[in-house]
């Protein structure tokens, strides 16, 4: 596992990227949101143009999925609709790289930065380390894709990859969570904690 994780990190090339192997992209997304205390009473924005797992994880945690439609002539969530959907209850945004084609990460990050005053982290949780909504990329289909010359996995705080049998790289089952925060100490802590949590 450590060898594969290291190879993923080297391939992605993020400054502080740390990859953690899990049993699926679904598990990767659910465990990080749970770890970051996303749950009942919270809202998580995502796209309706995705596999059901993206929304199921939000519901499993007791949070409310808020669906934002895709851009015209695109399969990707519309950042302008994200801007309008963010409320004081919004804790995370999950984008989806559809069919291996990356979303416009910079547009989404710009929206999240502009709306950072609307982010109210839960007290005494790791959410307090974030200045805006948690950005999670459902990149189940896009391992190997690039965005503006950089490998997918280095654009958002958290990225979930799938290695299911139908994906472009496979271990038959499996997935990975890539943690890519500007704070190396926080990245290392989350990696260590999730590694323990994932055992159970």
Annotated active-site residue 185? The verdict is: no
Distance CA 98, CA 38 (A): 24
Q: Are 175 and 24 in contact, with CB atoms under 8 Å apart? A: yes
CA distance readout (Å), 34 to 60, 91, 111, 131:
10, 11, 24, 18
Distance CA 57, CA 69 (A): 19
Report the 10 Å Cβ neighbour count for 197: 12
Check 167, 184, 185, 195 and give the catalytic one.
Answer: 167
In the chain, % helix, strand, coil (3-state, to 5) comes to 35, 20, 45
DSSP per-residue letters across 165-176? TTSSS--SS-EE
- DSSP β-bridge partners for residue 150: 147
Distance CA 145, CA 18 (A): 18
Active site residues: 167
């Amino acid at each position: 596992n450590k060898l594969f994780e290291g190879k993923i990190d080297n391939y992605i090339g993020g400054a502080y990227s740390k990859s953690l192997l899990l049993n699926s992209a679904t598990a990767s997304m659910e465990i990080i949101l749970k770890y970051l205390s996303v749950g009942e009473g919270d809202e998580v924005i995502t796209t309706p143009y995705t596999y059901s797992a993206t929304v199921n994880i939000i519901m499993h945690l007791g949070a409310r999925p808020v669906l934002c439609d895709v851009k015209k002539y695109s399969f990707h969530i519309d950042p302008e609709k994200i801007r309008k959907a963010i409320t004081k209850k919004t804790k995370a945004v999950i984008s989806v790289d559809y069919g291996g084609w990356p979303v416009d990460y910079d547009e989404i990050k710009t929206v999240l930065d502009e709306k950072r005053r609307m982010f109210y982290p839960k007290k005494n949780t790791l959410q307090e380390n974030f200045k805006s909504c948690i950005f999670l990329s459902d990149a189940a289909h896009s391992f190997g894709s690039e965005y503006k010359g950089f490998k997918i996995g280095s654009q958002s705080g958290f990225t979930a990859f799938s290695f299911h049998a139908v994906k472009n790289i496979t271990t038959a089952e499996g997935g990975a969570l890539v943690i890519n925060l500007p704070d190396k100490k926080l990245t290392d802590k989350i990696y260590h904690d999730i590694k323990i949590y994932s055992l159970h």
